[in-house]
Amino acid sequence: MNKFNLKITALFSLLFFAYACNTFQYQSTNQFYKKQVKQLSKALLAQPYAISDSLNAFPPPKWVGTTNFDLRKPNFVIIHHTAQNSCEQTLRTFTLERTKVSAHYVICKDGTVHHMLNDYLRAWHGGVAKWGNNTDINSSSIGIEIDNNGFEPFEPKQIQSLLNLLTILKNKYKIPTANFIGHGDIAPTRKNDPNIQFPWSLLANKGFGIWYDSTLAPSLNEHFSVPHALALVGYDVKDTTAAILAFKRHFRQDSTAIMNESDKLVLYQIVQKKLSSN
């Protein structure tokens, strides 16, 4: 190879390197996001469907739109752990159409917060879930994924970023204190996230979720029903064992399905706090 060819090869190598450095990995998925939002925007701008035409013997001659409305707001925050090995792996998962999963926010171990979806749009993070009478959690919630494989402690920087984010969300959308819960709470038969090392008590002390007092009532009425109490908190008790496990992971940092007297006293307090918050 002569000197001229060597120079051309070197030049193309430099150009390729420069192109690779300037190409954002998620450029194509960001374009897809913008396209999808544009399509949804068209649906919002369309005149409401005249369903009254099929209800009225004499349909109104013209459509009349109300002047009093705004955007639907999220009323819950659902906290997850990613159950993956890195933040980059999770970002990749949420940008592949075939996975059919997403979240509004992803918090990396170094505290970096990725805002992946507009808060007013519906993320696919809760799956088949139930909390109280709400069976469509995705339509009323913000999903936050924390980079954690499901077995490790959460990094202090992650928790600080989470607290900062929750402060913004609570103030912006007026989310009730009791409505900051975990994926395992709304899907007890399928999920256990965030894991038992998640600092729920710290969050509750900051106003995100309810907690119990350290001084517990001395005893309970003999008619106290654990399944009934769990249902009052919000748990789906079709599978009582799964509901107990979810409750104990959240409030007792325990992964056993046995409710001892102390556990029952904690549950009693959580019921009282939940009822008083309504």
- Structural domain boundaries in the chain: 70-209, 212-278
Which residues are marked as active site? 145
Q: pTM value? A: 0.87
Reference 270, options 185, 187, 167; nearest CA is: 185
Write down the CATH superfamily of domain 70-209. Peptidoglycan recognition protein-like (3.40.80.10)
> How far apart are alpha carbons 268 and 276 in whole angstroms?
12
Which one-letter DSSP state was computed for residue 176? -
The pLDDT value given to residue 86: 97
**E strand spans, the chain:** 76-81, 105-107, 113-115, 141-146, 180-182
3-state helix vs strand vs coil in the chain, percent to 5: 45, 10, 45
The pLDDT value given to residue 270: 96
Question: Going residue by residue through the chain (278 aa), what tens digit of pLDDT does each one get?
Answer: 555 444 445 544 554 454 445 577 899 999 999 999 999 998 888 877 655 666 666 777 777 788 888 888 999 999 999 999 999 999 999 999 999 999 999 999 999 999 999 999 999 999 999 999 999 999 999 999 999 999 999 999 999 999 999 999 999 999 999 999 999 999 999 999 999 999 999 999 999 999 998 766 667 777 899 999 999 999 999 999 999 999 999 999 999 999 999 999 999 999 999 988 87
How distant, in Å, are the alpha carbons of 44, 58, 91, 276, 277 from that of 53?
20, 8, 46, 45, 43
